[in-house]
């Protein structure tokens, strides 16, 4: 495995993969393994992915260890958790301080404490996020579809008006935007199965509506111009008829939505104030509210992210404790309220809610204990400044994932990490192809579903080897 990758290498290879996917032509649908025979056994119809972008430290969130308060001159290696543990609704299970609301709904779901992220050499967020969302390590000879795109293609929309794959909260116009685009994609499946992007949930559908003062007639003319520009783009020039038609269908879907009654689900001003205020912790919280409203209208797959932006959010290369405290204030109430609202309305039974991050963090270990990689953060052995108090390095050998609904066990804890550094997985390790295949299992998607691309089968999980972890289900 190469260990000297940089962002330029990643972009060059993923761009080449996109062009290769175009050159591959139309996926051979006659060779797609049908999942229809299994849908009768499906436990879920919809998925909400709550994405903690940037690397959420397990020991400072859902898997707390011994707490050591900050003091000037403290030994860095003695710090395992920078927050006090607080009890949850589950006997003997604690979360770190600041996550009390989520702790109170854990009787409705499963806590996984043993997710192990992949070893890919020098750690880049872009590669691990690509791997988590597609189940394939980059680079690939074709553009791998996002988890949401597979679900959109295999199951189609629940409601024909609501896009089958919706992404809320991520802008693609900031740092590492091109890397983010690499996995915010349907890959070779075609644009119609790609994400309907809502960068800011408070703006609802404004991003696809005509600007203020522009008539629909003028908007239609601009839309026609856009189509002409697309035809002159690499896709228009080199793409197959399948890909061109797929793009056209995705554009038509947006028009259908704009003129439908279901469009009101995107308008958060329609939500009662009492409910709105609980969710209103920022873009992520309002994204959770929009996700709930969309599920109620028949959405199939929704991703809500805290948004990945380098050195912000969960990407805590310094001030780890301070930033983690801020992030908890953004997620605790909305996540808990989402679970409670879905449960109260009866939608949780048929909706899988997943909270996850690309990897964890540790103060001292970069990578994993038996396979350390190049350090990216200077951590003093003795801490004099609060900015060095917290989890800064990328840690791949023990991560937390929450799962609710869709047949997932209630009040269950899966896996375990060590109580002392390195706080690595010591029981029931679970990897990404098991996570993906467990989701597909709940949705009734066949384990061996695949397309033939470039004369070889391309499966939902790497080489079709992923197996659902049935111990997660009741």
Residue 234 predicted with pLDDT over 70: no
Among the listed ranges 3-7, 183-187, 370-374, 390-394, which one has the minimum average pLDDT value? Answer: 3-7
Cα-flanking dihedrals φ and ψ of residue 211, to 5°? Answer: -60, 160
Note the pLDDT of residue 175: 82
State percent of the chain over pLDDT 70.
81
Q: Distance of CA 272 to CAs 268, 279, 356, Å?
A: 9, 11, 29
Structure tokens at 210: 């005509």
Average pLDDT, integer, range 157-176: 92
Mean pLDDT, the chain, integer: 87
Please state whether beta strands 371-372 and 351-356 pair in parallel, antiparallel, or not at all (unpaired). unpaired
Note the pLDDT of residue 466: 96
Domain-embedded: residue 183: yes
pTM for this prediction: 0.88
Average pLDDT, integer, range 15-39: 46
- Name the nearest CA neighbour of 317 among 472, 142, 89, 123: 123
Question: Is-contact 171 308, C-beta < 8 A?
Answer: no
Q: Please tell me which residue, 153 or 39, carries the higher pLDDT value.
A: 153
Domain-embedded: residue 1: no
Residue 15 predicted with pLDDT over 60: no
Helix 125-134 vs helix 7-23: crossing angle, to nearest 10? 30
Q: Is 197 exposed, middle or buried (0-12, 13-18, 19+ CB in 10 A)?
A: middle
Helix 241-258 vs helix 216-231: crossing angle, to nearest 10? 170
Sequence-separated (6 or more) residues with CB below 8 Å from residue 433? 135, 461, 462, 465, 466, 467
Question: pLDDT band at residue 344, thresholds of 50, 70 and 90?
Answer: very high
Give whichever of 9-23, 29-43, 109-123, 229-243 has the largest mean pLDDT.
Answer: 109-123
Compute the Cα dihedral for 43, 94, 84, 361 and give only its sign.
negative
Tens-digit pLDDT profile for residues 352-371: 999 999 999 999 999 999 99
Note the pLDDT of residue 86: 98
Coil, strand or helix at 355: strand
- Listed as own residue / partner, the contacts of 4-7 with beta carbons closer than 8 Å and 24 or more positions apart are 4/121, 4/122, 5/120, 5/121, 5/122, 5/124, 5/127, 6/124, 7/124, 7/126, 7/176, 7/179
Domain-embedded: residue 455: yes
Domain-embedded: residue 2: no
Residue 20 predicted with pLDDT over 80: no
Note the pLDDT of residue 257: 74
Neighbours of 416 (CB within 10 A): 15
Note the pLDDT of residue 73: 97
Question: Is-contact 3 374, C-beta < 8 A?
Answer: yes
Helix 283-296 vs helix 320-345: crossing angle, to nearest 10? 20
Residue 203 predicted with pLDDT over 80: yes
Question: Is-contact 201 287, C-beta < 8 A?
Answer: yes
Question: pLDDT band at residue 198, thresholds of 50, 70 and 90?
Answer: very high
Residue 345 predicted with pLDDT over 60: yes
Residue 228 predicted with pLDDT over 60: yes
Tens-digit pLDDT profile for residues 46-103: 999 999 999 999 999 999 999 999 999 999 999 999 999 999 999 999 999 999 999 9
Question: Is-contact 146 186, C-beta < 8 A?
Answer: yes
Structural domain containing residue 246: 7-472
C-alpha 150, offset from chain centre: 14
Note the pLDDT of residue 35: 42
Residue 396 predicted with pLDDT over 60: yes
DSSP states of 395-429 as a string?
E-S-EEEEEESTTBPSSEEE-EE-SSSS--EEE--
- List beta partners, residue 450: 459
Among the listed ranges 186-190, 352-356, 424-428, which one has the minimum average pLDDT value? Answer: 186-190
C-alpha 357, offset from chain centre: 7
Q: Is 184 exposed, middle or buried (0-12, 13-18, 19+ CB in 10 A)?
A: buried
Average pLDDT, integer, range 165-188: 91
**CA atoms of 200 and 168, how far apart (whole Å):** 7
Average pLDDT, integer, range 427-431: 98
Question: Is-contact 117 396, C-beta < 8 A?
Answer: yes
Residue 59, domain CATH: 3.40.720
Would you call the peptide bond into 422 cis, given omega within 30 degrees of 0 as the criterion? yes
Residue 22 predicted with pLDDT over 50: no
Residue 7 predicted with pLDDT over 60: no
Tens-digit pLDDT profile for residues 249-273: 555 666 677 777 788 899 999 999 9
CA 406-411-416 angle, to 5 degrees, is 105
Average pLDDT, integer, range 450-460: 92
- DSSP conformational letter for 44: -
Among the listed ranges 218-227, 290-299, 371-380, 438-447, which one has the minimum average pLDDT value? Answer: 218-227
Total of domains in the chain: 1
State percent of the chain over pLDDT 90.
73
Domain-embedded: residue 68: yes
């Amino acid at each position: 495995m190469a260990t000297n990758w940089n962002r330029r290498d990643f972009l060059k290879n993923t761009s080449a993969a996109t062009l290769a996917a175009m050159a591959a032509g139309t996926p051979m649908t006659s060779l797609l393994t049908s999942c229809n025979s299994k849908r009768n056994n499906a436990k879920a119809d919809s998925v909400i992915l709550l994405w903690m972008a940037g690397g959420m430290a397990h020991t400072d969130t859902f898997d707390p260890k011994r707490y050591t308060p900050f003091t000037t001159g403290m030994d860095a290696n003695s710090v395992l958790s920078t927050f006090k543990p607080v009890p949850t609704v589950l006997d003997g299970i604690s979360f770190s301080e600041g996550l009390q609301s989520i702790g109170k709904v854990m009787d409705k779901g499963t806590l996984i404490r043993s997710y192990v992220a992949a070893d890919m050499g020098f750690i880049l967020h872009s590669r691990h996020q690509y791997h988590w969302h597609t189940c394939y390590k980059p680079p690939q000879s074709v553009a791998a579809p996002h988890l949401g795109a597979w679900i959109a293609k295999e199951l189609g929309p629940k409601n024909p008006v609501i896009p089958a794959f919706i992404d809320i909260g991520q802008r693609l116009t900031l740092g590492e935007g091109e890397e983010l685009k690499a996995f915010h994609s349907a890959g070779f499946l075609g644009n119609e199965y790609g994400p309907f992007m809502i960068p800011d949930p408070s703006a609802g559908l404004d991003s696809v509506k005509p600007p203020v003062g522009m008539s629909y007639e003028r908007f239609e003319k601009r839309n026609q111009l856009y189509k002409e520009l697309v035809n002159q783009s690499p896709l228009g020039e080199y793409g197959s008829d399948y890909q061109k038609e797929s793009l056209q269908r995705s554009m038509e879907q947006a028009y259908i939505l704009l003129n439908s009654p279901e469009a009101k689900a995107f308008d958060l001003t329609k939500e009662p104030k009492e409910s709105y205020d609980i969710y209103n912790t920022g873009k992520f919280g309002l994204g959770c509210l929009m996700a709930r409203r969309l599920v109620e209208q028949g959405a199939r797959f929704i991703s809500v992210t805290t948004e990945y932006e380098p050195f912000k959010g969960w990407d805590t290369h310094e001030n780890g404790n301070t930033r983690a405290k801020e992030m908890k204030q953004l997620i605790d109430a909305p996540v808990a309220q989402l679970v409670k609202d879905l449960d109260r309305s009866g939608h949780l039974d048929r909706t899988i809610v997943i909270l996850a991050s690309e990897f964890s963090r540790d103060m001292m270990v970069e990578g994993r204990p038996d396979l350390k990689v190049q350090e990216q953060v200077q951590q003093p052995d003795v801490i004099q400044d609060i900015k060095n108090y917290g989890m800064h390095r990328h840690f791949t050998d023990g991560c937390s994932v929450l799962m609710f609904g869709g047949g997932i066990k209630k009040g269950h804890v899966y896996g375990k990490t060590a109580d002392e550094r390195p706080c690595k997985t010591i029981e029931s390790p679970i990897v990404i192809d098991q996570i993906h295949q467990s989701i597909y299992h709940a949705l009734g998607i066949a384990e061996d579903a695949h397309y033939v691309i470039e004369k070889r089968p391309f499966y939902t999980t790497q080489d079709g080897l992923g197996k659902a972890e049935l111990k997660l289900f009741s």
